[in-house]
Structure 1
Amino acid sequence: MEDIHVQYVNLEKSENLAKHRTEGFSCSKALVVRRGAPFKISLRLEGRPFNPKTDSLRVKVMLGHLYVIMPVTFSKKVSSSGWKAYIDPEDLNLQNPSIFIFSPASASVGCYKFQLGLLSQGGQRRNAFSKFILLCNPWCPKDAVYIPFEDQREEYVQNDSGLLFMGTAMNLVSRPWSFDQYEPGVLETCLNLLQVSPKHQNNRRLDYLNRNNPVYISRVVSAMINCEDDCGVLKGNWSDDFKQGVNPSVWTGSGDILRLWAQSGYSPVKYGQCWVYAAVMCTVMRVLGIPSRVVTNFNSAHDTNGNLGIEEYYSETGQKLNHSKDSIWNFHVWVECWMTRQDLGSGMDGWQVLDPTPQERSGGVFCCGPAPVKAIKDRHINVLYDIPFVYAEVNADVHTFIVGQGRVLSHSKDTDRVGSLICTKAVGFPRLQNITEDYKYIKSPTSTLTSRSSAISEDSTLRNGSSKGALVILTLDKGPVAGEPIRLTVKFINKQSVFKMMSVHLNAQAKEYNHNPSDTFWETHGIIKLAPMEVKVLRQQILPAQYENVVGDNLINLAVVLEDMATQERVLASEEFNIASPQLTIQVADEDSIVPNKEQSATVTFTNPFSHAVGGVLTVAGAGLIPDKINFRMLPLRPGGKVEQRFTFIPSMLGTRMLRGSLSLSNINATIQGFRMVFVNRA
């Protein structure tokens, strides 16, 4: 009888991808599975059938030069800490046997090769080769990244789109972002990120061994997203000059960035800022199977000297000055990843802060975290990693000084401004989830502030300054919107029973989210008289023609200084705010009948709110909906004019997907965004 040999190995991709929840990676040439769960391979044998009494099978699994050899048994019993290969005795086909390969829940992440050896009764050994990619498994209770709720696994691992929150806490901007983890080449690029990291290049064996630990993986990825110490993905740029690359505001998804990085031979992509760094890191972590979400901290402090105090300086006329090495970013974006912290104890399990934006070194390289959110809240500053830095970002006090003639004229302290809102995208819905209380203990508002604020609308903001003699309250009547005047109210209160002559200075400066403001673009000055205990109200507005040329994607710093002309006592109130951009509107025809491989139509609408004509390039994209971006050139549109652009798309993936529109204006430094969630049903 002809001896037995293996004709080929069937990786049973469709069955394994479904069981391991990796169907999104079906475009990968390799089988993609998750650790802590068995996957099935089937053999096609030629010659005689397999004889369990005289023939034997073994599997050799290799990650680099690390390997494990397993005899194929007929017992389904597995150990959570070891590899296992077995044939199900209840489903035995001797001509075409199926083998299950089980990886432990602590196996290292990476691209594995495996060798199947068949030793026949004639003493002949025959081998077959293949490979598979092994990822973390948040569905497995024994995995360090296990997260116990299915809706959270869908959101934080499988969802390939999301929202990034920017602007200011009073006037949020929801920026659509495509994480693109299932787009062609992204999985392979994320795995190559681990391969080209200094940790791997310096000691490949140790790196492979350490890849079983999400704490280790997250630190490697945090360092590799920026290029300060390595051939990382992104080069940062916080200037106004992006001629050598792409303005960070133009990026709408991670796929383009990761593909550019890979195609260039791992040269850094130009350029990124905090939200781009965080979004790309979120993509890499979701690809590797580690639950991740993008988090925004509004009024984020960068405390250079570690004293939990941020100093800000203003001139006598309310102009903000660049006199401090400390800074407050209007918003800063980082990543949270979910994992157990076996190195710290169970009390530190859960969400961990990881920040790939290069700000300070950790362990000698530009990375940050994983810092347990629980440790940040309770100020456990000795816990690994980088707790003092993150704690200051959400808790520092702000000391504001008015200076003139080389001396300090006034000083005030604000303990609530930093970390005023910390948020992320809600699970399953395109809206904000407030997670501030995860990071800090929220102070109860004082009765005085509550009563003072009660008459102010929900859209307004409140900043006030107080001295012994006077109180000034600066209020925006509502969240500013592009194309409309910025209306503000200043309330002056004489706290004493004496007549006061007061000089008033109002000042507005444009600023980037992470810098001190530039020169004044609007100001007004005057004198008011306050009778004893009198309250006066001043209403002002900044017209669109006055702010359009300086704002774009920037923000505005608005300040008022009130000076008692008799005593030279000064009091300052200030507010930093963004102007809400117009939105693109996307409408989809036959929204309830969207199915794979069937052409659908949609329309993008834009109305020009500016006081002059604008034109630019409209880009439409959608992971799982549009294979390549669609670009349309928009001719100059008159003020108040409306344009509609129709396009078609053919869905390729099931489930909830995001259609995104992005309009880059050519004559204003601004990008107009819009999105629509659509659900692709089974045919």
Structure 2
Amino acid sequence: MGEHSTIYYDIQGLVLRRGQPFSFTITFNQDLPVDKYNLSFIFKSQTWQNFPRVKIPLNGSSNGWSAKRLSTKDQENNCVYFQICSPCDATIGKYSLSLEVCPMNKDSINTHDLLVFQFHADIYILFNPWNKSDACGLLSADQITEYAFNEHGQIYLGSSEIPRSIPWYFGQFDRDVLLTALSLLNKTSLPTESRIDISLMLRLLASNICSDPGANDGIFPPSSDKPSSSHQENGYTSSPVILKQYLLSNGQSVQGGSGSNWQHAAVFCSLCRSLGIPSRIVTVYNATCEAQEKENINLHWNTGQRPIVVVNKKVTRPWYLWNECWMRRDDIPAQNSGWQVVDSSAIDYNTKIRRIGPCSVAALKSGSLTLKWDTPNIYNVLNANRSHWLVYPDGNKKLISTGQIQPHHDVHIDMEISQTLKLGDDLHIILKANNLSNEPRTLVVALKLIKLSSTLEIKPNSDKQHQDLHVAQSTNPAGINTSLQTPVQSSVQDFQLNVNERELNI
């Protein structure tokens, strides 16, 4: 179906986008005077349990569905051309279609007068990102191409300083991917009125990526109770390969470990795209594994300035991946629609409760933590505090610094410091900011220097030239120890800048 942009689906049947009409011809074994019969098309869901059938009278409508006869030139009497259109909020899934024919002049209809023709082809109705009235409607064709149609992508791991990518094949048009997505929706009985809620559908899909502890019915086995042990490599780089094994095992978890967090995100992305939901994978660097409340991440250093590994349940990963799905949400203020975070790996290891979203990206940025779903939990993953401790040989430790883990911004900053400073020279710090976004940004500058000993006096200089920061350094060299092998006790001092020095508009 080229008009519905579903021609790439490798599956037997008719794949359609909701909110968009489709046309077909029915050839009867005899002439059919349509004006003497009542014709109705009946759609019956094969995906959702206990779903009421949709009966659409010809040249009429039912619950937003409509059907009509189209006129064509040189049309034979036994060939009738029809058009059916589903509503923009039709329940997605697999349907069977039948045609009900009964005489129009009968006062009462019995089973002998009623004829039912069953169509043998399955019909799949999916979300429609091209239709702006659809909850998944996107604004541009480029976004649809990237987030709904792209079958190949790169997943970024590594670190924020040295990211590395691995290739992944999403294969959202593969038969096994679409059938898996629909089978996962069929596992849970939702009330009829909830089956048009895309937020609940995403929660259903995400909750079935990993099995719950003690179960084996998710795509991946349950993760270990320790978050630091939950990334088990299995070598998969293709969603169809994983999902084919899942279907062949009759819905039992694939073998080879619980999978990595990035594999969970990649498979979930494939399932969403197969249903027509625009989805992308987001890598979060320096994220916390567990977020029941405001987290504090403790980093320990020995007196040789080398990190000490401390094993506990609240750890910082170099990277953590989740998904963002595009949708309109009617359960929250309109400005919070758009991209929504969905975390298919998230689970509270104390309560065994999943914290998966969807959570508005706009709400995370504005700090609107009262909006559902799971917004406070996802917010804390991004906004943990990080404390640095100096650990002495006798086991005692001293707090060096603490502060919030800073997110990656769309402003690139380079700092230049002279490498030929002599004692007594002024320290000039030059900040070069490059705004990578399409909007104005305000750069807030804060100055923090570390005093290496009590004999080192550091004073801020209020003079400013070309938005440079000047710091005067004393000429007393007696207490300065620059050896990295023998660190001295240190303290941190903040310097207040004038308002006109603190904020730079770029």
TM-score range for the pair, normalised by the shorter chain length: 0.7 to 0.9
CA distance in 2, matches of 1:495, 1:95: 101
Q: Which residue, out of 90, 99, 107, partners 1:116?
A: 99
* Alpha carbons of structure 1 residues 349 and 166: separation in structure 2 relative to 1, 3 Å: same
The residue that corresponds to 2:115 in the other structure is 126
* Alignment of 1:52 onto 2:34: yes
Paired residue secondary structure (2:148): helix
* Alpha carbons of structure 1 residues 250 and 39: separation in structure 2 relative to 1, 3 Å: same
CA distance in 1, matches of 2:141, 2:268: 22
CA distance in 2, matches of 1:259, 1:303: 31
Paired residue secondary structure (1:369): coil
CA distance in 2, matches of 1:86, 1:165: 50
CA distance in 1, matches of 2:477, 2:222: 55
CA distance in 2, matches of 1:501, 1:349: 55
CA distance in 2, matches of 1:211, 1:41: 28
Letter in 1 for 2:323: V
Q: Which residue, out of 162, 165, 184, partners 2:156?
A: 165
The residue that corresponds to 2:24 in the other structure is 41
* Alpha carbons of structure 1 residues 284 and 443: separation in structure 2 relative to 1, 3 Å: same
* Alpha carbons of structure 1 residues 362 and 211: separation in structure 2 relative to 1, 3 Å: farther
* Alignment of 1:70 onto 2:53: no
* Alpha carbons of structure 1 residues 378 and 234: separation in structure 2 relative to 1, 3 Å: same
* Alignment of 1:321 onto 2:309: yes
* Alpha carbons of structure 1 residues 326 and 50: separation in structure 2 relative to 1, 3 Å: same
Instruction: List per-residue Cα deviations over 1:517-562 (Å, max 9, x = no partner).
Output: xxxxxxxxx45xxxxxxxxxxxxxxxxxxxxxxxxxxxxxxxxxxx
Contact 2:225/2:349 (8 A) holds in 1: no
Paired residue secondary structure (1:359): coil
Contact 1:393/1:418 (8 A) holds in 2: no
The residue that corresponds to 2:241 in the other structure is 256
The residue that corresponds to 2:347 in the other structure is 359
The residue that corresponds to 1:279 in the other structure is 266
Paired residue secondary structure (1:43): strand
CA distance in 2, matches of 1:393, 1:496: 45
Contact 2:300/2:390 (8 A) holds in 1: yes
Contact 1:298/1:418 (8 A) holds in 2: no
CA distance in 2, matches of 1:172, 1:444: 18
Letter in 2 for 1:85: A
Shift of the alpha carbon at 1:365?
Answer: 3.8
Contact 1:40/1:98 (8 A) holds in 2: yes
Contact 2:414/2:431 (8 A) holds in 1: no
Instruction: List per-residue Cα deviations over 1:140-190 (Å, max 9, x = no partner).
Output: 121111111111111111111111111112212121110011223221122
The residue that corresponds to 2:504 in the other structure is none
CA distance in 2, matches of 1:227, 1:467: 48
Shift of the alpha carbon at 1:321?
Answer: 2.9
Matches within 5 A, 1:287-366: 287-302=274-289, 304=291, 306-317=293-304, 318-322=306-310, 325-360=313-348, 365-366=353-354
* Alpha carbons of structure 1 residues 30 and 356: separation in structure 2 relative to 1, 3 Å: same
Contact 1:379/1:387 (8 A) holds in 2: no
The residue that corresponds to 1:180 in the other structure is 171
Shift of the alpha carbon at 1:122?
Answer: 8.9
Instruction: List per-residue Cα deviations over 1:85-140 (Å, max 9, x = no partner).
Output: 11124666532112222111111111112221122479733212233111111111
Letter in 2 for 1:250: G
* Alpha carbons of structure 1 residues 504 and 306: separation in structure 2 relative to 1, 3 Å: farther
Q: Which residue, out of 232, 235, 251, partners 2:221?
A: 235
Paired residue secondary structure (2:53): strand
* Alignment of 1:402 onto 2:380: no
Letter in 1 for 2:354: F
CA distance in 2, matches of 1:495, 1:282: 57
Shift of the alpha carbon at 1:362?
Answer: 12
The residue that corresponds to 1:210 in the other structure is 194
* Alpha carbons of structure 1 residues 163 and 95: separation in structure 2 relative to 1, 3 Å: same
Q: Which residue, out of 383, 386, 400, partners 2:374?
A: 386
Q: Which residue, out of 237, 253, 265, partners 1:268?
A: 253
CA distance in 2, matches of 1:497, 1:337: 59
CA distance in 1, matches of 2:76, 2:136: 36
Contact 2:231/2:261 (8 A) holds in 1: no
RMSD (Å), alpha carbons: 3.5
Letter in 2 for 1:67: R
Contact 1:302/1:392 (8 A) holds in 2: no
Can you give the 5+ residue segments of structure 1 that lack an aligned partner in the other structure? 1-16, 422-435, 456-463, 472-493, 506-525, 528-562, 572-683
**TM-score where L is the length of structure 2:** 0.76
CA distance in 1, matches of 2:204, 2:474: 57
The residue that corresponds to 1:101 in the other structure is 84
Paired residue secondary structure (1:366): coil
Shift of the alpha carbon at 1:264?
Answer: 1.1
Shift of the alpha carbon at 1:469?
Answer: 2.0
Shift of the alpha carbon at 1:395?
Answer: 2.5
CA distance in 2, matches of 1:217, 1:382: 21
CA distance in 1, matches of 2:474, 2:253: 58
Shift of the alpha carbon at 1:249?
Answer: 5.8
Worse overlay, 107-116 or 370-379: 107-116
Letter in 2 for 1:232: G
Matches within 5 A, 1:74-89: 82-89=64-71
Contact 1:468/1:495 (8 A) holds in 2: no
The residue that corresponds to 2:140 in the other structure is 149
The residue that corresponds to 1:221 in the other structure is 205
* Alpha carbons of structure 1 residues 263 and 406: separation in structure 2 relative to 1, 3 Å: same
* Alpha carbons of structure 1 residues 278 and 175: separation in structure 2 relative to 1, 3 Å: same
Instruction: List per-residue Cα deviations over 1:302-336 (Å, max 9, x = no partner).
Output: 46452353222222232323165432111111000
State the aligned residue count. Answer: 431
Shift of the alpha carbon at 1:347?
Answer: 1.2
The residue that corresponds to 1:499 in the other structure is 478
Contact 1:222/1:355 (8 A) holds in 2: yes
**TM-score where L is the length of structure 1:** 0.57
Worse overlay, 129-138 or 300-309: 300-309
Letter in 2 for 1:341: R
CA distance in 2, matches of 1:40, 1:299: 52
Shift of the alpha carbon at 1:380?
Answer: 0.6
The residue that corresponds to 1:560 in the other structure is none
CA distance in 2, matches of 1:246, 1:383: 30
Contact 2:170/2:267 (8 A) holds in 1: yes
Percent identity over paired residues: 24
